[in-house]
Amino acid sequence: MTVPAYVRPLFLLLALIVAPTVYVACARMPSAEEVQQDELARAQADYDSLIRDIVKELKSPDPKVRTGAAIDLTGMIPRRYYDGRQSVRDTRAELALDVLITLLDDPIMEVRQAAASAIATMRTEGAMAVLEKFFPEEQVADIRYSILARLTTWNTHPGALPLILMGLDDPSPEVRCRAGLELASFGGRLGPGAFDSLDHGKMVKKLLARIEAAGKGERHCYLSALSDFPDQRSITVPVLIRSLDSPDHREVDYAVLALGFLKAEEAVPSLIKTLKRVPPADPDEIALALGRIGDHRAVEPLLEIAKEGWLMNTLWALGNLRDPRAYPFLSEFLEEALDREQQEYHAIVVDAAHALGRLGDRRAVPLLLRAMKSPDVRLQVNAARGLAELGAVEAIPLVEKLSRKKVWTVYTRDATGWKQPRTPFRKLMDEILEKLYAAQRARKEAA
């Protein structure tokens, strides 16, 4: 089709107008990182605005409004996105701490309790210093308990430790108990070095004295904290082993937990004996401890309780022991589960796939490749982990395909057996592929 001569100037004019606009628009197109930073800045502004609105309510003459505002502030802790991107910065201490400090003198107990709880969730040195002064002066045990309970849930600031130590000397048995549980939790969150500032010998003696003097229902509070001082195990392990004979299931559970973390091989016979005492023993918790210890004397007892239906932690424990005697049970269990062809499998089946690969028996490869074709991403990922343990390079195409899925997090278990429902998917898949590529390179070099 021929364009009439009188129309051509119009096209030229339109091109002169549109082209610079398109060029400028393309030249100014922001990068993905700039877009993300812009979104984060807007989210931060919205978050800060919301905190300021809550601060206004903290100043209300109505005690119910003040209490509700402090409770709202407690829940305003920023959390990271599932894909690991940076979240907004926690500005509660900057914007609200001064007002909350005034509420610690409020005549209404509920207001003081809510304000103290909110401060306990703030991971700053200033917030911890405020509570360190307030804690011993507060006469209401419930408020002191609330402070420690909030520390347990949220706070990983090293400045929380003095508060916990105060709690161990509290006149209230409930507060002392909470402090003992918090001490164990604090060590677990901060890891090795959490108690470097303490004299371990004196600390353990204090805990043992508390155990000795504790009344019924309080002894268990101090048992799990003993695992935070492995250099004192010659003193603590015998106490923990004796606690396995307690009629109180809480004492047994916490002693089992501590022995597992201490990897106390000398406790294996007692743990196996306790495994058959139901109640008060919890076979799943004992299985977890035996798996952490890693002693092969536990294999047959673990297989016995697995056949009885105690599977929650037992399959992980069998995988962690890496003993070939577990292969028949684990392979049969996984095969029967796959035969049911479900869209989503129970976490126990997912654990079985990884555990099977950890046994080092290449007979598991076809079964794990079959598991990788399941529609359940959790099962696919943990089967891939098992295949990587076996160096099964034939799984690389399936694993590469899986790695391209748009998934943020996935269920796994960590090295200590704890369930991790939000393991970053991308990082995990990179680790699996690196293992498989290394096995492929080694195979080529050997050839």
Q: Which residues of 128-153 are buried (b: 16+ CB within 10 A; e: fewer)?
A: bebbeebbeebeeeebbbbbbbbbbe
**Termini Cα distance of the chain:** 66
* Average pLDDT of the segment spanning 58-66: 96
CB atoms within 10 A of CB 100: 24
Distance separating alpha carbons of residues 16 and 184, to the nearest angstrom = 72
Domain 99-198 of CATH type 1.25.10? yes
Instruction: Report the pLDDT value the prediction gives residue 86, as an integer from 0 to 100.
Output: 62
Element (H, E) at 438: helix 425-446
Residue 410 contacts residue 377 (beta carbons within 8 Å):
yes
Instruction: Report the pLDDT value the prediction gives residue 152, as an integer from 0 to 100.
Output: 65
Convert the pLDDT of each residue in 310-338 to its tens digit.
Answer: 999 999 999 999 999 999 999 999 999 99
What residues does each domain of the chain span? 99-198, 322-447
Tokens for 440, please give them.
């492929």
Tokens for 181, please give them.
């549980």
Q: Enumerate the H helices of 135-267 as residue ranges.
A: 141-154, 161-168, 173-190, 200-213, 220-223, 233-243, 249-262
Secondary structure letter of residue 172 according to DSSP: S
Distance separating alpha carbons of residues 348 and 207, to the nearest angstrom = 36
Q: How many residues belong to the chain?
A: 447
Convert the pLDDT of each residue in 99-139 to its tens digit.
Answer: 999 999 999 999 999 999 999 999 889 999 999 999 999 99
Instruction: Report the pLDDT value the prediction gives residue 215, as an integer from 0 to 100.
Output: 80
Q: Which residues of 271-289 are buried (b: 16+ CB within 10 A; e: fewer)?
A: bbebbeeeeebbbebbbbb
Distance separating alpha carbons of residues 117 and 205, to the nearest angstrom = 30
The closest alpha carbon to 134, from 126, 142, 125, 144, belongs to: 144
Does residue 35 have a pLDDT over 70? Answer: yes
* Average pLDDT of the segment spanning 90-96: 94
Convert the pLDDT of each residue in 366-417 to its tens digit.
Answer: 999 999 999 999 999 999 999 999 999 999 999 999 999 999 899 999 888 9
Dihedral angle, C-alpha 34, 40, 44, 45, nearest 10 °: 50
Convert the pLDDT of each residue in 332-374 to its tens digit.
Answer: 999 999 999 888 899 999 999 999 999 999 999 999 999 999 9
**What is the band of 276 on the pLDDT scale with cuts at 50, 70, 90?**
confident
| Gyration radius from the chain CA atoms | 29
Instruction: Report the pLDDT value the prediction gives residue 13, as an integer from 0 to 100.
Output: 54
Secondary structure letter of residue 204 according to DSSP: H
| Residue 311: CA count within 13 A, CB half-sphere | 15
